[in-house]
């Protein structure tokens, strides 16, 4: 089997570390693995397939000889190095939001639009984590009848804010129990025992940048340019795995049974819906794996042509690292 040289840009962050783990788990045919990060991480050793790999400096010229570069860094870093990556002949699969809405950059969830990845000009964008989880959950519905709109609320784990998010949650919980000082640096407010209804900055219309990603990215991924989405994004005191409540409006009326059957047979999904036995998706059930669990499926009581459901998925894996690696798998 042919092997591919892989670079991870931002290898020391939460998503970068998870990418390394997923590459090994999925037996991706890796030749060389090149771990790239900022100067402060250079020389640190990271395990991959039982070997110690030293972190190298992310710099111009660091991408020569690579087939794929998996981006797990900021927008600024992605924009800085993208031209050099493309010039080196590698395909840049980027997890930042820097290129998602560029017309000539495919935005890909492999279970939905893997063919779009093959139209790349050297850069492929990984969608927002909540967008990935939600669209994997509703893709089967879209196959039954085109989706016209969605009303969604996301319940996003602290790890979605980076490696320091869960640490801040844990430190605040300890402070509450032990009577210490509660400090918040990662989040706008205390997250322990609290919900924060803001992720991203506010636009003029009152929606946040995070909330608009569901509509804007959803249109591109589903090839539904008229899709309308109203979304509210909330940070919750959960370590890992995002949850989304979504009402899906379709062109024709669907039954609960046909929706359940479609989701049960859809790639990337697990139907997890048995309310009589209290079976429904939860963060603790869906962490550290790659499927999107879907449950609480029911007819909406406001719109005739609508289904309401609840879904959960690991945003570090399927919402970021695994999705990027699946894109690379689709290309090889």
Kindly report the average pLDDT of the chain as a whole number.
97
Print the domain residue range for 54. Answer: 4-127+320-331
Q: Which structure tokens are listed for 163?
A: 């490696």
Question: Is there a single domain that holds both residue 115 and residue 166?
Answer: no
Instruction: Please tell me the distance from the alpha carbon of residue 257 to that of residue 268, in angstroms, as a whole number.
Output: 19
Secondary structure class of 207 (helix, strand, coil): coil
Question: Is there a single domain that holds both residue 36 and residue 177?
Answer: no
Question: Is there a single domain that holds both residue 106 and residue 171?
Answer: no
Question: Is there a single domain that holds both residue 115 and residue 188?
Answer: no
Question: Is there a single domain that holds both residue 137 and residue 275?
Answer: yes
Average pLDDT over residues 310-328: 98
Average pLDDT over residues 220-245: 98
Question: Is there a single domain that holds both residue 110 and residue 182?
Answer: no
Question: Is there a single domain that holds both residue 87 and residue 159?
Answer: no
- Domains in the chain, number: 2
Indicate if the pLDDT at residue 118 is higher than 90: yes
Instruction: Please tell me the distance from the alpha carbon of residue 93 to that of residue 316, in angstroms, as a whole number.
Output: 15
Instruction: Please tell me the distance from the alpha carbon of residue 192 to that of residue 180, in angstroms, as a whole number.
Output: 13
Q: Which structure tokens are listed for 26?
A: 């999925």
Region at 27 (left for phi over 0; alpha for psi -120 to 50; beta for the rest):
left
Average pLDDT over residues 298-311: 97
Question: Is there a single domain that holds both residue 8 and residue 86?
Answer: yes
Question: Is there a single domain that holds both residue 326 and residue 199?
Answer: no
Which CATH number covers residue 70? 3.40.50.720
Give the pLDDT confidence of 192-212 residue by residue, as tens digits. 999 999 999 999 999 999 999
pLDDT-above-90 percentage for the chain = 98
Confidence of residue 1 (pLDDT cuts 50, 70, 90): confident
Q: Which residues are catalytic?
A: 129, 242
Question: Is there a single domain that holds both residue 16 and residue 46?
Answer: yes
Give the pLDDT confidence of 226-236 residue by residue, as tens digits. 999 999 999 99
The owner of tokens 């820097």 is 98
What pTM, to 2 d.p., does this model score? Answer: 0.96
The dihedral over CA atoms of 113, 119, 124, 125, expressed in degrees to the nearest 10, equals: -50
Question: Is there a single domain that holds both residue 120 and residue 233?
Answer: no
Confidence of residue 163 (pLDDT cuts 50, 70, 90): confident
Q: Which structure tokens are listed for 152?
A: 């969604």
Which CATH number covers residue 254? 3.30.360.10
Question: Is there a single domain that holds both residue 73 and residue 119?
Answer: yes
The owner of tokens 């670079």 is 7
């Amino acid at each position: 089997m042919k092997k591919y040289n892989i670079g991870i840009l931002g290898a020391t962050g939460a998503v970068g570390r998870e990418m390394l783990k997923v590459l090994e788990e999925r037996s991706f045919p890796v030749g060389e693995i090149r771990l790239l990060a900022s100067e402060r991480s250079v020389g640190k050793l990271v395990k991959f397939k039982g070997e110690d790999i030293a972190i190298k400096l992310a710099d111009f010229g660091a991408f020569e000889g690579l087939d794929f570069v998996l981006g797990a860094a900021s927008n600024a870093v992605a924009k800085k190095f993208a031209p050099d990556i493309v010039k080196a002949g590698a395909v840049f699969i980027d997890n930042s939001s820097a290129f998602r809405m560029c017309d000539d950059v495919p935005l890909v969830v492999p279970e939905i639009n893997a063919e779009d990845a093959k139209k790349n000009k050297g850069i492929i964008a990984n969608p927002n984590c909540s967008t990935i989880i939600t669209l994997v959950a509703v893709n089967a519905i879209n196959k039954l009848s085109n989706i016209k709109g969605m009303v969604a609320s996301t319940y996003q784990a602290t790890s979605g804010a980076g490696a320091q998010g869960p640490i801040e949650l844990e430190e605040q919980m300890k402070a509450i129990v032990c009577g210490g000082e509660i400090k918040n640096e990662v989040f706008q407010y205390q997250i322990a025992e609290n919900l924060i209804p803001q992720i991203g900055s506010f636009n003029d219309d009152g929606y946040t940048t995070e909330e608009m990603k569901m509509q804007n990215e959803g249109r591109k991924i589903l090839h539904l340019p008229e899709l309308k989405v109203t979304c509210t994004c909330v940070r919750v005191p959960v370590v890992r795995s995002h949850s989304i409540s979504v009402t899906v409006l379709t062109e024709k009326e669907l039954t609960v049974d046909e929706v359940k059957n479609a989701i049960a047979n859809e790639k990337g999904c697990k139907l997890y819906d048995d309310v009589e036995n209290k079976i429904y998706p939860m963060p603790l059930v869906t962490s550290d794996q790659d499927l999107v669990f879907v449950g609480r499926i029911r007819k909406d009581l406001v719109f005739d042509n609508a289904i309401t459901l609840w879904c959960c998925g690991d945003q570090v894996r399927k919402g970021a690292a695994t999705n990027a690696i699946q894109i690379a798998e689709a290309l090889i």
